[in-house]
Amino acid sequence: MGRQRVLSGVQPTGNLHLGNYLGAIRNWVEIQSQYENFFCVVDLHAITMPHNPATLADDTYIIAALYLACGIDLNYSHIFVQSHVSAHSELTWLLNCITPLNWLQDMIQYKEKAVKQGENVSVGLLDYPVLMASDILLYQADKVPVGEDQKQHLELTRDIVNRFNHLFAKPDQPVLKLPEPLIRKEGARVMSLTDGTRKMSKSDPSELSRINLLDPPDQIVYKIKRCKTDPIRGLTFDDPARPECNNLLTLYMLLSGKTKEEVAVECQDMGWGPFKSLLTETMINALKPIQEKYQTVMDDKGYLESVLRDGKHFAEAIANNTLTQAKIAMGYSIPL
C-alpha cells in the first residue's frame, strides 16, 4: 500500500498573506512527508469572478513559486497548474450532469459572492464547487486539508461521490473515492490587523489589514505600527472583549514557534509599544527565508517551468486514468 493522497489548491489571485500561510500552507508543509501530495494552482477557479487576463499567468507562477518558497518539497509533493490538466474541466462537465442545481444554490460561499455581483453573476461561480470536487476526485485523494470556509464544499464533494457511485458503480467497486477533510489543529485562524473580528482576507480593500508574504521589512514595520490595538495594559489570550490582542499574540506565537503558555507569560505585563517591536522583528525574521527562497525561484524561470511541467505530466497520468474510469462507468465509448 502506498501513502495516502492529499490534495489542495490556492487561487492565483495575486499575493498570499499570513493567513494563507499560517492557516493553510504551513500545515501542508508540516504533514507532507506522511502523504503523497498534490498541490495545484487553481487558475480555472480564478475566472469565476471577474479577472485580469494581463496578470493571470504571472499570478499563477507567483503562487507556484510561493509553494516552493514556503517549503513544499518535491520529494513528497507534486506542484501543478489546474488548467494544464484538461481532465479537470472534463470531469466537471460529467459531474455537472449528476449534481442537482439546488445543492449548488445552497452553498454559503456562492450566496455571499453572488450578492456582491448582482445581475452579473456567472454560471461558473455557481459551478465552482463542482470544479473543486473534480480537483479532489481526479486524484482519488484520501485527505483534503480545509479551513472552515471550505468545509461545505468538501461535504458537497462527498455527496457527489456518493451519488456518482450509487448511479454508476457496483456497491463493492466504487469508481470515485470518498475524501475526508483534514482538519488542522486549533490556533491558526489569522484575523485582520484592522479588525480582530474579521478574517485576514485578500479581498479586504485595505492593504493595512494584512501582511503579505512578500512584504518588505519596511512595510511590515509600517503595518504593525498602524495595526489596531486597545487601551488596556498587559496582554492576554482569549479575552472576547480583546479580539485584536488575541490575534496579535497568536501571530507572535505562531511566528516565534513558542507555546501559548510561554507567550502568555512573556507578554502578560507588556505594553503595546514593546510588544509591537517584538512582533515586528519576529515577523520579519520568520518571513525572511521565505522571501529569499522566493527570489531564488523567481530568478530561475526555467527551473519553475520544469517543476510545473513535471507536475503536469505526473498529475495528468493519474487524472486521465480516473476520468476514463468515470466515463466507462457512465457508459461512454472510449476511443482506442
Binding of ligand TRP by 69 (CB under 6 A): no
CB count within 10 Å of CB 107 equals: 19
The nearer residue to ligand TRP, 242 or 312, going by C-beta atoms, is: 312
Binding test (CB under 6 A) with ligand TRP, winner from 41, 42, 176, 297: 42
- Is 143 known to be catalytic? no
Binding test (CB under 6 A) with ligand TRP, winner from 37, 77, 150, 209: 150
Distance CA(208)–CA(321), nearest Å, equals: 46
CB 220 within 8 A of CB 251: no
Residue whose C-alpha is closest to residue 290's, from 224, 200, 213: 213
Distance CA(24)–CA(97), nearest Å, equals: 31
CB 214 within 8 A of CB 291: yes
CB 252 within 8 A of CB 227: no
- Is 199 known to be catalytic? yes
- Choosing from 151, 199, 260, 327, the catalytic residue is 199
Which region among 5-13, 215-223, 229-237, 294-302 touches ligand TRP (by CB under 6 A)? 5-13
Task: Report, in Å, the least distance between residue 216 CB and ligand TRP.
Answer: 26
Binding test (CB under 6 A) with ligand TRP, winner from 5, 6, 8, 161: 8
Return the C-alpha cell found at 56.
Answer: 493571470
Binding of ligand TRP by 11 (CB under 6 A): yes
* Ranges within 107-136 binding ligand TRP (CB under 6 A): 132, 135-136
Type of residue at 280: T
- Is 113 known to be catalytic? yes
The nearer residue to ligand TRP, 179 or 196, going by C-beta atoms, is: 179
The C-alpha torsion from 326 through 89 and 81 to 309, rounded to 10°, is 70
* Ranges within 267-326 binding ligand TRP (CB under 6 A): none
Distance CA(251)–CA(245), nearest Å, equals: 10
Positions marked active-site: 113, 199, 202
* Site for ligand TRP, rule CB under 6 A: 7-9, 11, 42, 45, 132, 135-136, 144, 150
